[in-house]
Amino acid sequence: MLKTVGAAAVLFAGGATGAEIGRLYSRRPREIKALMGALLLLQTQISYVAAPLGEALSVVALRADPKVEAFFSHAAGYLNASCGLTAAEAWDKAVAEVFPDSSLREEDLDVLRDLSAALGNSDREDQALHISLALERLKALAVAAEEDARRFVRLYRFLGFGAGLCLIVLLF
């Protein structure tokens, strides 16, 4: 009886580990798409509403998907605070602070870091152009992330259960 409970626990632990790793792969495309939607909102705020960057970031934070809302609210907070940060510094500080807890990879974050150099340093049209370029790069990354998710989610789930079964065979 105790062996059966132990075997079930090992199998469950292996399956749960595999499912968790697979979940990380499935979260990344959703986070990239949420980021793309928020950047579209930012582009609209800059291009058509002609809002100052701090105000535009605040509006985007209110309307953005909860997956990326914290990033835009942090960036707006840093920019609107009277601590002397430039737009690029506020943006980079928000990237460094918010996204380590996400499923985004370094290449996803590089798109945001590259965009920070253009925000607040040029006119509306140039900023909108840089946001459009960042959206194109994110679109390509989203396609790759969906392909990775399609391939690796099932793989890691099966590997988790397989590893649990192998461990059961070795132990019992």
- In contact, 75 and 38? CB cutoff 8 Å: no
Handedness of CA 60, 61, 66, 67 (dihedral sign): positive
Q: What is the mean pLDDT of residues 102-121?
A: 90
Question: DSSP code of 101?
Answer: G
pTM for the whole structure: 0.83
51 conformational bin, left if phi > 0, alpha if psi -120 to 50, beta if neither: beta
Cα 158 from Cα 172, distance rounded (Å):
21
Q: How confident is the model at residue 52 (pLDDT cuts 50, 70, 90)?
A: confident
- What are 14-43's pLDDT values in tens digits? 999 998 888 888 999 999 999 999 999 999
Closest by CA position to 16, among listed 156, 146, 151, 149:
156
In this model, does residue 84 exceed pLDDT 90? no
Kindly write down the DSSP assignment for every residue of 23-55, as one continuous string.
HHHHHHHHHHHHHHHHHHHHHHIIIII---HHH
Question: Percent of the chain beyond pLDDT 90?
Answer: 48
- What are 55-72's pLDDT values in tens digits? 999 999 999 998 899 999
